[in-house]
Amino acid sequence: MKKIFWLLLAVVFAAAPVFAQELRFSGYVNSGIGVEFSSHDDDDDVMMRVAGVDSEQRGGRFRLNGSYTNADKNAGADLRFQLQGVPGVNNTADIGLVYGYGWVKPVDMLLIKAGLVADATFETQGPILRDDAGGGAGAGLFIKLTPIEGLDIGAGVYPRSADGSNNNHRITAVSTNQTWYDVKYTFGIAYTMPEVFKLNASFRTSNDAGVTSRTQARGIAEFQLLMVENLTAIVEVEIDNIYNKADEFDMFDNEGKFNFYETFAYGINDLRFGINAAQYISKVDNTDIGLRFNPWVSYALAEGKIVPRLDGVFFLGGDRIRLDSSGNQPGDYGKYDRRMDVAPTYNSDDFVVSARPSIKINVDSRNFIEIGNAFYYRNPAVGDGFINNIFYIDLVTRF
């Protein structure tokens, strides 16, 4: 018996280096300190909290990615484990899998994934739109076919689904029973001509299996121009509120939305500048168009070690930048990443103006410290205007 044990142990140790060659881990930590003031608070106190600035929530984030690929490169597994603060809720952290799935390629043109699935093929790349076609789309099955080079066709079915928020969600329940027409289905097609352009379109059905409030169907299309060096050019179109289970297609007639997003950036030596813009159009009666403009400029100094940057935002018909001290209203938390993730109010009497100077100190190509100040002025359609101001020191360490 002992001989068998030692033999098995020797086999494990002999196989470990081979296995380790195909197993990879990576991740990062994003955290820091935010000092906040809001004239909207009754006591006007200055607040301080742990703050991961560009992690889209107040409480910082720890992320661990893992991947395994077999020797033949036709099967493997991927996972993302995450610990982060919960937006809008003080003293609360969310911990668990964002995604964890296995995948196989029976033939070169066919990819099958199962589990808590993530796939970025049909996920748009603009900084504003929250797209749930790719990363962490849900728990279920995803199939992608690549019949010719550059062309991808995919479909997914998710008995447990999640919304798009740049992988900031976590699916708390992996398994649930749903009637077949209540689950989330996604369909996508993308074509890429390398160094020329990419076209991408996707559709997800209405579903009753979501972990948040988005149960309506929506379609998204994207165009990326790839042929100009140092230029980022992305245009996205979203048709939202197409239908839901309660009223089927009547929803679009009464509450349909057309959203347009543009992302342009260009670099000349050490200078970079760009603009992120959006237009929000709702079919609800007596509503105005929401207009968002986010111009920015940065300049690299000391061989890229020091990068000052200035961001500005004007949002006509924008809402949700209040930094109240209670932090217990999901619609009132103050996300202050550069995208300024605010929601349209479709009221031209309501607007937001923001300025954010910052300076990034790059320790190396993967790690940095950023110091900055984000200033917001909100003029609500009803009530008095108020100011939010956040001074922050932010740290990102990747491994």
Instruction: Please indicate, yes or no, if residue 98 is contained in any of the structural domains.
Output: no
Q: Between 163 and 274, where is the model more confident?
A: 274
Tell whether 142 and 176 lie within a shared domain: yes
Residue 189 has pLDDT above 70, yes or no: yes
Tell whether 242 and 341 lie within a shared domain: no
Instruction: Give the residue from 238, 268, 298 where a domain finishes.
Output: 268
Instruction: Give the residue from 207, 234, 268 where a domain finishes.
Output: 268
Q: What is the pLDDT of residues 282-294, one digit of tens each?
A: 998 888 999 999 8
Tell whether 80 and 221 lie within a shared domain: no
In this structure, are residues 30 and 52 in contact, taking their beta carbons and an 8 Å threshold? Answer: yes
Rounded Cα distance, 55 and 29, in Å: 10
Residue 255 has pLDDT above 70, yes or no: yes
Residue 226 has pLDDT above 60, yes or no: yes
Tell whether 250 and 119 lie within a shared domain: yes
Instruction: Give the residue from 210, 235, 268 where a domain finishes.
Output: 268
Position 217 scores a pLDDT of 86
Tell whether 195 and 247 lie within a shared domain: yes
In this structure, are residues 107 and 113 in contact, taking their beta carbons and an 8 Å threshold? Answer: no
Q: Calculate mean pLDDT across residues 123-144.
A: 79
- Report the C-alpha dihedral over residues 182, 184, 185, 188, rounded to 10 degrees: 150
Q: Calculate mean pLDDT across residues 340-344.
A: 65
Lowest mean pLDDT among 123-127, 128-132, 185-189, 327-331: 327-331
Strand partners, 346: none
In this structure, are residues 261 and 224 in contact, taking their beta carbons and an 8 Å threshold? Answer: no
Please enumerate, as own/partner, the contacts of 87-91 that have beta carbons within 8 Å and a separation of 24 or more: 87/56, 87/57, 87/58, 87/168, 87/330, 87/333, 87/335, 88/327, 88/328, 88/329, 88/330, 88/331, 88/332, 88/333, 89/327, 89/328, 89/330, 90/49, 90/326, 90/327, 90/328
Q: Between 380 and 331, where is the model more confident?
A: 380
Instruction: Please indicate, yes or no, if residue 7 is contained in any of the structural domains.
Output: no
190 is in which domain, residue-wise? Answer: 105-268
Tell whether 370 and 294 lie within a shared domain: yes
Q: Whole-model pTM above 0.75?
A: yes
Domain count for the chain: 2
Q: What is the pLDDT of residues 52-82, one digit of tens each?
A: 766 554 567 888 999 999 999 999 999 988 8
Rounded Cα distance, 263 and 276, in Å: 5
Highest mean pLDDT among 134-148, 309-323, 336-350: 134-148
In this structure, are residues 38 and 74 in contact, taking their beta carbons and an 8 Å threshold? Answer: no
Position 91 scores a pLDDT of 58
Looking at residue 49, which CATH number applies to its domain? 2.40.160
Q: Helix, strand or coil for residue 7?
A: helix
Position 245 scores a pLDDT of 73
Tell whether 257 and 288 lie within a shared domain: no
Tell whether 149 and 262 lie within a shared domain: yes
Instruction: Please indicate, yes or no, if residue 11 is contained in any of the structural domains.
Output: no
Q: Name residue 178's amino acid.
A: Q
Position 2 scores a pLDDT of 44
Tell whether 252 and 302 lie within a shared domain: no
The answer for 158, left when phi > 0, alpha when psi is -120 to 50, beta otherwise, is beta
Q: What mean pLDDT is reported for the chain?
A: 80
Cα–Cα–Cα angle for 219, 223, 224, rounded to 5 degrees: 140
Tell whether 109 and 240 lie within a shared domain: yes
Residue 336 has pLDDT above 70, yes or no: no
